[in-house]
Amino acid sequence: MSSLEENMEDLLNVEVSETPENGCTTRKSNLKDVTEDREKDYEYTRGELYSLIDKGQEAVQGALEVAQESGHPRAYEVAVAAMKHVADMTDKLADLHKKMKDLDAEAKGTKNVTNNAMFVGSTTELQKMLKQMGGGKR
Complete domains list, the chain, with CATH: 36-107 (1.10.287.1060)
CA atoms of 114 and 117, how far apart (whole Å): 6
Residue 29, pLDDT > 60, answer no
pTM of the predicted model as reported, rounded to 2 decimal places: 0.51
Helices (H), 13-137: 35-70, 73-108, 123-134
pLDDT score for 134:
79
Spatial contact of 63 and 75, defined as CB atoms under 8 Å apart = yes
Residue 124, pLDDT > 90, answer no
What single letter denotes the amino acid at residue 128? K
CA atoms of 41 and 103, how far apart (whole Å): 13
Residues 50-78 have pLDDT tens digits of 999 999 999 999 999 999 999 999 999 99
CA atoms within 13 Å, Cβ hemisphere of 59: 16
